[in-house]
Amino acid sequence: MTDSTIRLTTAQAIVRYLANQFIEIDGEEMRLCGGGFGIFGHGNVTCLGEALNSFRAELPLYRGQNEQSMGFAAASFAKTWLRQRFMFATASAGPGTSNLLTSAALAHANRLPVLLLCGDTFQTRLPDPVLQQLEHDYNPTLGVNDAFKPVTRYWDRITHPAQVIQSLPAAIATLLDPADCGPAFLGLPQDVQGWSYDYPTALFARKRHRIRRQSPDAHEIADAAGLLKAAQRPILIAGGGVQYSRAVKDLTDFAEAHQIPVVETIAGRANMLATHPLNIGPVGVTGSNSANAIAAQADVILAVGTRLQDFTTGSWTAFDKSARLVSINAARHDAGKHLAAPVVGDAKLSLRALTEAAKGYTSPKAWGDEARALRAAWDAEVARTVAPDNGPNSYAQAIGVVNALCHPRDRIVAASGGLPAEIAANWRTLAIGTVDVEFGYSCMGYEIAGGWGARIAQMQQEPERDTIVFVGDGAYLMLNSDIYSSALSRKKLIVLVLDNGGFAVINKLQNNTGNESYNNLLVDAPTIPDPFAVDFAAHAAAMGAVSEVVANPAELGEAFKRAKAADRTYVIVMHVDPYEGWTTGGHAWWEVGTPSVTESDRVRAAHIEQEAPRSRQRKGV
């Protein structure tokens, strides 16, 4: 070592660099990288593993059971930290790395920072073909790791140790960029990981990062203010980006200053308390009667921090075609969708600028009164839907029980099947930023793994609060091993397994489009002669959890109290009806493909019914 350089392997340089990156959050400086999730194999154990072992205190490594779930946990950690911190996931060459593809897609769809450090084949190619290598005789540079290019925001293959000097800062910049945030991928050939280089010591100096806040353009603010001032029936759509920019108070202040009704996306589900008079409910396909009713009448729609996916827009039928759209977003791509008047900038700064530009404007009182009356009616509908005596066991009843008994700061996690819609419609937000319904990718298996990642973050923020996971039997069977991870790492989860005997929400979609039940519920699967239920409680207990089965919502409530008092992961299983108890109100149209030619009268009738709302569909680019 000299005064200006230090000789390290590629892997050692990566780890040392990560350990010296910091970020200031609420006046406290902490490591930007919260550690990582790792499964070692021949692609990463000998070199990257050696480097990580030397920094085990600074960068704690959680031992995963499945690479896909590790990526989910890392994404959930980042979401819980509002994208201000990240974790890495490392996998060996071959199938370990390819297992992370789904995780990368989820992080990409949700714009979440995750660093993927994946083994790769030998740069020299001298031992080719190696174990688990996929050969392409027309392109020897092509491998499994190239499959990550469409599902990452930054991609590089480190073919020489010196590349780290450029690639690592670029990867970190992507992870912290409000507009381009998403997963960053570094392919690490097995030989290159162990090659050494004289790195400049300055590369490893302690560095404090700040997340950029982009000021909006004055002309775009003026255009937006002009549209808003002319509005008679404005609404504000609050997306997940409001939380990521720490602009929740600014959004509330803006809405109150101009008396504009607020509706929430699924990602923005906890931007406002349920009791706030301007919170008119969730909007879109999984929305509320109240929010969708005012969305259909709105003449100006101010969307903040949302990419306006189809479940928010009702496949672009939720709004009147003549309504003017203003979109505040840090990402230019999102701000300009569907001929919106764009405001490209940070949500906090943009809302403050727009508040000033629209000073003196308030929406008509009658509009606000109508919105509040609609919300009151929806609240009554939710109360009826979640009531424990409202028919057979249902998702909604379970949601109502937990909502009534949980602490306001407990965090709930859900992702796939029918639960996202039921939670979006029926959950009453008790505290800001406490709901994670992963619906950007709606990925089965995220639930328990995401709960584990959220719990790791939560233990650093509010250790006295609980992480509560809602999961169906189908998603549980797909990826459940992080019950074991949570037990091993002493990161307590409360997991509610709601068993409806298969993929019930897809069966509902199948039936609603005129099709017969086929291969979704276990009883309708033609290759299953004798269906039987899984003993989920016994399975969870085998992985170290306390577990029990309850028969009804009343028993669920008592079990939930026991789970709250427990000191380790607690799994509660309840059967729910696959056919009844679904929330029926509030749904906007959702475009799905249905057969235009069929021999079934039911399917033909459903196709005609499904296509009828298309005339309301907003056209745009």
CB 324 within 8 A of CB 299: yes
> What does the pLDDT read at residue 216?
98
> What does the pLDDT read at residue 447?
98
3-state secondary structure of 361: coil
CA distance 437 to 524: 29
CB 447 within 8 A of CB 478: no
> What does the pLDDT read at residue 621?
52
- Counting residues of the chain whose pLDDT is more than 90, the rounded percentage is 95
At position 208, the amino acid (one-letter code) is R
Query: For the domain 9-209, what is the CATH code?
Result: 3.40.50.970
Identify the CA nearest to 349 among candidates 152, 212, 502.
212
Measured from the Cβ of residue 358, the count of other Cβ atoms closer than 10 Å reads 22
Share in percent of the chain as helix, strand, coil (round to 5): 40, 20, 40
> Do 388-575 and 9-209 fall under one CATH topology?
yes
Identify the CA nearest to 451 among candidates 40, 75, 34.
75
According to DSSP H, which parts of 177-238 are helical? 190-194, 218-229
CATH of 388-575, one of 3.40.309.10, 3.30.499.10, 1.10.760.10, 3.40.50.970: 3.40.50.970
> What does the pLDDT read at residue 288?
97
pTM above 0.95, yes or no: yes
The dihedral region occupied by 125, where left means phi > 0, alpha psi between -120 and 50, and beta the remainder, is: left
Identify the CA nearest to 354 among candidates 367, 364, 365, 345.
345
| Predicted confidence (pLDDT) per residue in 217-272, tens digit | 999 999 999 999 999 999 999 999 999 999 999 999 999 999 999 999 999 999 99
Domain ranges, ordered by start, for the chain: 9-209, 218-377, 388-575
| Predicted confidence (pLDDT) per residue in 440-450, tens digit | 999 999 999 99
> What does the pLDDT read at residue 2?
55
CA distance 570 to 565: 10
The tokens describing 517, both together, are: 């039940």
Q: What are phi and psi of 52, to 5 degrees?
A: -65, -35
Q: C-alpha distances in angstroms, 383 versus 221, 321, 387, 405, 508?
A: 40, 33, 6, 15, 23
Which segments in the chain show pLDDT lower than 70? 1-2, 620-621
Query: For the domain 218-377, what is the CATH code?
Result: 3.40.50.1220
Q: What is the DSSP string of 134-147?
A: PP-TT-TT--GGGG
